Amino acid sequence: MTRELTFAQAISEAQAQAMEDDEKVFLMGEDVGVYGGIFGTDVGLYEKFGPERVIDTPISESAFIGAATGAAIDGLRPIVELMFVDFFGVAMDQIYNHMAKNTYMSGGNVHVPVVLRTAMGGGYGDAAQHSQILYSIFAHVPGLKVVVPSTPYDAKGLLLSAVKDDNPVMFFEHKLLCGLDWLPFGVKGPVPEERYYLPIGKADIKREGKDVTIVTASLMVHRSLDAAKILEKEGISAEIVDLRSLVPLDKETILNSVKKTKRLLIVDEDYLSYGMSGEIAAIVAENALYYLDAPIKRLALPDVPIPFSKPMEDYVLPNSQKIAQAVRELMKSE
């Protein structure tokens, strides 16, 4: 029988194996130690590696992200956990101006192998300051890789690759994927016990289809797969492209899929304006416009703060029914 892990367990195992393989790897952040991470992604690491390599920090994101950047420049390979991506503002200078730019500004003489893990996403009533996605902000900054896994298998393989990468990597984990009892959704899946390394910058086709391409990432991969099952009963075959990373972006896989299906829906839990959905729409418009049988369609979060109220939160977040309806509209348009 194939072993299955939750998303959170896969991340914890990847970190443990990376720390076993290289004594320069260590973990730091809020509640990563005795507590095991607020979303269960660090369970067992403190007991195994001790307080010198699994470091609980004060609530000072600018301090511990800055410390991780300095440690990386000095030859270590830190994994640093930003509890919620919404909190990045207080460490903006450390991320934008130091972590992202020091390799370039040193003429390639300084490497900054930091993995900055962070939790993102809504869907469980945590309101406007704890429910955002925001990965497009970091994808906009040269010097940062941006990784967005959707399955336990991808999470482990991409995290192991991120730790070995000499560039700073932003690693985004949707809270609803983690598999915790108190969250309204979770995923489990087959994860090999041995180490394996997935290439950063290679998308994955999670479902083959012929009528429409749905390009998406993270939790929205699962919402899109559910929508594809609904559409299949209506005679519509949807292909699901899981980006897995925004930087580097696998343009080739996107374009090849669109050229095959001739219709494109981009689904994003991030805000609609100036985000991932607009970037992918532009890439397809520039490189595959004449293959399209219908205008490109986008489904994303409206440009509003994410509500605390469950009915209002459900109203603004993309879901499988909204995705299915967007595809129906796309199939009718020419």
State how far the Cα of 113 lies from the Cα of 243, in Å rounded to an integer. 22
How far is CA 120 from its chain centroid? 8
Whether residue 249 lies inside any domain: the answer is: yes
Shared domain check, 228 and 115 = no
Dihedral Cα 297, 300, 304, 310, nearest 10 deg: 130
Q: Which pLDDT band holds residue 8 (cuts at 50, 70, 90)?
A: very high
Could you give the CA distance from residue 76 to residue 71 in angstroms, rounded to a whole number?
Answer: 5
Are residue 73 and residue 132 in the same domain, yes or no? yes
Q: Which domain holds residue 174?
A: 4-190
Q: What is the mean pLDDT of residues 70-90?
A: 97
Do 173 and 86 share a structural domain?
A: yes
Residue 111: what residue type? H
* 174-183 exposure pattern, b = at least 16 Cβ within 10 A, e = fewer: bbbbbbbeeb
**Which CATH number is 297's domain given?**
3.40.50.920
Q: pLDDT tens, 266-309?
A: 999 999 999 999 999 999 999 999 999 999 999 999 999 999 99
Mean pLDDT over 204-221 rounds to 98
55 and 127 share one domain = yes
* pLDDT(247) > 90: yes
pLDDT in tens, 177-196: 999 999 999 999 999 999 99
Q: What is the mean pLDDT of the chain?
A: 97
Which residues belong to the active site? 130
Residues 160 and 300 placed together within one structural domain of the fold:
no
Asked if the model's pLDDT at residue 145 lies above 90, the reply is yes
**Does the pLDDT at position 1 exceed 60?**
no
Give yes or no for a contact between 232 and 258, defined as CB atoms under 8 angstroms apart: no
With a cut of 70, say whether residue 225 has pLDDT above it.
yes
- End residue of a domain, out of 142, 167, 190: 190
199 in a structural domain: no
Q: Which of 142, 160, 190 is the last residue of a domain?
A: 190
Same domain assignment for residues 107 and 224: no
| pLDDT band with cut points at 50, 70 and 90 for residue 88 | very high
Helix (H, G, I), strand (E, B) or coil at 117: strand
Contacts of 301 (CB under 8 A, 6+ apart): 133, 268, 269, 270, 271, 272, 316, 317, 318
In a domain, 162, yes or no: yes
Q: d(Cα 16, Cα 43) in Å, to the nearest integer?
A: 10
The model's pTM is 0.96
- pLDDT over threshold 80, residue 319: yes
Q: Does 234 map to a domain?
A: yes
Helix (H, G, I), strand (E, B) or coil at 239: strand
Indicate the pLDDT class of residue 2, thresholds 50, 70 and 90. confident
Boundary-marking domain end, from 142, 165, 190: 190
pLDDT of residue 333: 75
Tokens of 227: 């929508």
Give pLDDT tens digits for 164-180. 999 999 999 999 999 99
- Percentage of the chain beyond pLDDT 90 is 99
